[in-house]
Amino acid sequence: MLQRLIDAAKYFKRAVPFRIVPAIITTLVLAGLLLVPTPDGLTPKAWGLVAIFLTTIVAIILKVMPIGVMALMAVMIVALSQVTADSSRQAIADALASYANPLIWLIVVSVMISRGLKKTGLGQRIGLSFIALLGRRTIGIGYGLAACELVLAPFTPSNTARGGGIVHPIMRSIASAFGSDPEQKTEAKVGTYLALVNYHANPITSAMFVTATAPNPLVVDYVAKVTHQGFHLSWGTWALAMLLPGLVCMLLMPLVIYLLSPPQLKKTPDAVQFARSELAAMGSLQPKERVMIGTFAMLLLLWADVPAMLFGPAFRLDATVVAMLGLFVLLITGTLDWDDVLSEKSAWDTLIWFGSLVMLAGELNKAGVIAWFSGGLQSTIQASGMAWPYAAGVLVLVFVFSHYFFASTTAHISAMMLAFLTVGAAMVPPDYLTPFLLMMAAGSAIMMTLTHYATGTSPIIFGSGYVSMGKWWSVGFVMAVLELLVFATVGLLWWKVLGHW
C-alpha cells in the first residue's frame, strides 16, 4: 500500500504541469490573506481583490506555471469570486475588459512589426552596421543602443513604441549576429546584457523630456494644480531640469549593468571585420528591406506627432492606430504574411498576461484600494511628526516602489501622484517645494525600472526571453536606487544652479 502511494506521488509529480512546492506556497498566501480581517476603509470585495492581486504576483515570482497561465488563473478567480461585480456575467466582463486596452495592442502589434526586421534581413543588416561601428567591445554596443534611445526620445511620445518598437528589434538583431539566442540557450553571450541596456535606457529618457512618454503631460498638470499654477513645467523647463542628472544616469547605466550582468563575450576584436565582410556579402538593400525602412520612417514620424506639429492637432494619431497602420502596410506589401502574425507566439503570450495585470491594477483603483492606501500614508506621516526632509524622502520612495503593484505608469500616476504631491505641498516649505516636485516627476519614470510589467516596453523586451525574471527584478531594483540617488544628488545641485531652490 505504501509503495502504491509513493508511486502515485511520483506519477503526480511527473504528470502535473505546475511546480508543486511553489503552488502550495501560493495557495497558503491566498488563504492567509483571505483570513486576515478586512482593513477599515475597504469593503470585503476590495480586500478579496487585493488578495487575488498579491497571490498572482507571488505565483508569477515563484514560477508556479508559465506567466500566461497565471494570468488566466487571475481572470478566472476574479470572475468566479465576483469581487468586482454582483454577477459572474459582469465579473467576467470586468476581467476581460482590459484586453481592449489600446496600450496592450500597441505592445502586441509592435512585436509583430519587429518580426519583419528578421524576415527581410534588415535587422541583421542594422545589427552588422552597429557591430562594424562599435563592435570591438560589447559595452560599446550598449552605449550605442543608449545613444539611439536618447536621440529618439524627444520626438517619440510613446516610450513603448520607442524602446519596444524601434530600439528592441535592433538589439535583437545585434544579439543574433553574435549567435546569442534564448532558443539556443546562448542568451548570456551578449543578449542578456544588451536587452537590459535596451530596457533601462527607456525609463531614463522617459524622465528627460515631457514628450518622451505619454503620462508626462499628466505630471505637468498635477504639478500645476498643487502649486496653484505657480510652477509650470514647460517642455524647455522640464528638459533643462532633467538634462544633467539624466545624462549622468545614461552614462552610468551601461557600465553598472555590465558589472551586474556581465556578457560572456566582452571583447570582440574580429567582430568589426566580420561585420564588414557580411555586409558586403549581403549586397545592396533589397526591395522588402526598403519597405521596412519606409514603414519605420512612417512610424517614427507619426509616433513623434510630426504631422500634428506641421498641420495642427487634427492630424494627431494615437500610437496604437499608428502601429496598426504599420502592420497593415507590411501585410499588404507582402513583407509579412498572415502566418507570420499567427506564429508570433510572444505577442499573443504578452496579450494574455499583460492584459490580466492591467485589469487587476485598474480594478484595484476602481475599488478604492489605491485611494485608501494613499490616505493612510498621509495620516501616518502627519501623525509621525517626522521632519519635512524625511517626509519628502518617504513620499518619493513609497511612490516609486509602490509601482510593484502597477502594470501601467499612467494608472499609477493617475491613481496616486496627485495625492502624494498634495501631501508634499502641505509638508515641504515653499522654498524647497520645487525640487520635491522635480524628484516626484523623475520618480514617475524611474519606477519603470522595477518589474517586467512596469510599462509597455517591459513585456516586449522581457518576452523576447533574454533576461530571466530574477535577473530583471534584481537589476531593476539596483537601477531604481542608483537613479534616485543621482537625481537626489546631481539633480539637487543642478536645480540649485538653475535657481529652483
Per-residue model confidence as pLDDT tens digits over 285-340: 899 999 988 988 888 788 777 888 888 888 888 878 888 999 999 999 999 999 99
pLDDT above 90 (res 439): yes
The predicted pLDDT at position 475 comes to 96
Is 321:336 a contact under the CB 8 Å cutoff? no
246 and 393 in one domain?
no
Q: Per the domain annotation, does 446 fall within a domain?
A: yes
Q: Phi then psi for 267, rounded to 5 degrees?
A: -115, 135
| Count of structural domains within the chain | 3
> Alpha-carbon distance 317 to 303, whole Å?
8
In this structure, the answer to whether residues 295 and 424 fall within a common structural domain is no
Residues 275 and 208 in one domain: yes
Instruction: Tell whether the model's pLDDT for residue 112 goes beyond 90.
Output: no
| Residue 224 pLDDT exceeds 80 | yes
Shared-domain flag, residues 333 and 453: no
Q: For residue 94, what are the domain limits?
A: 2-99
| Class of residue 243 by CB neighbours under 10 A (exposed 0-12, middle 13-18, buried 19+) | middle
Q: How crowded is the C-beta side of 394, counted as CA atoms within 13 Å? A: 18
Does 43 share its domain with 140? no
| pLDDT confidence tier of residue 135, bands split at 50, 70 and 90 | confident
pLDDT digits (tens, 9 = 90+) for 172-210: 888 888 888 898 899 999 999 999 999 999 999 999 988
Residues 111 and 233 occupy one common structural domain? yes
| Cβ-based neighbours of 332, under 8 Å, separated by 6 or more | none
Which pLDDT score is estimated for 12?
67
183 inside domain:
yes
The answer to whether position 220 is within a domain reads no
Residues 70 and 135 in one domain: no
* Together in a domain, 28 and 62: yes
Q: pTM above 0.95?
A: no
- Residue 137, strand partner residues: 267
φ, ψ (nearest 5 deg) of residue 270: -95, 0
Domain termination residue (choose one: 284, 308, 343): 343
Q: Residue 495 has what pLDDT?
A: 96
Residue-wise pLDDT tens digits, 59-108: 877 778 888 888 899 999 999 999 999 999 999 999 998 888 887 788 78
In this structure, is residue 257 part of a structural domain? yes
Instruction: Report the percent of the chain where pLDDT is more than 70.
Output: 97
Which residue, of 79, 99, 119, is where some domain finishes? 99
Residue 487 confidence (pLDDT): 97
Unique residue bearing C-alpha cell 533589397: 286
Give the Cα separation of 215 and 304 in Å (integer). 15
Query: Are 88 and 157 part of one and the same domain?
Result: no
Same structural domain for residues 293 and 437? no
Q: Do 42 and 148 belong together in one domain?
A: no
pLDDT bucket at 264, cuts 50 / 70 / 90: very high
Final residue belonging to a domain, choices 73, 99, 125 = 99
* Position 370 pLDDT exceeds 80: no
374's grid cell:
494613499
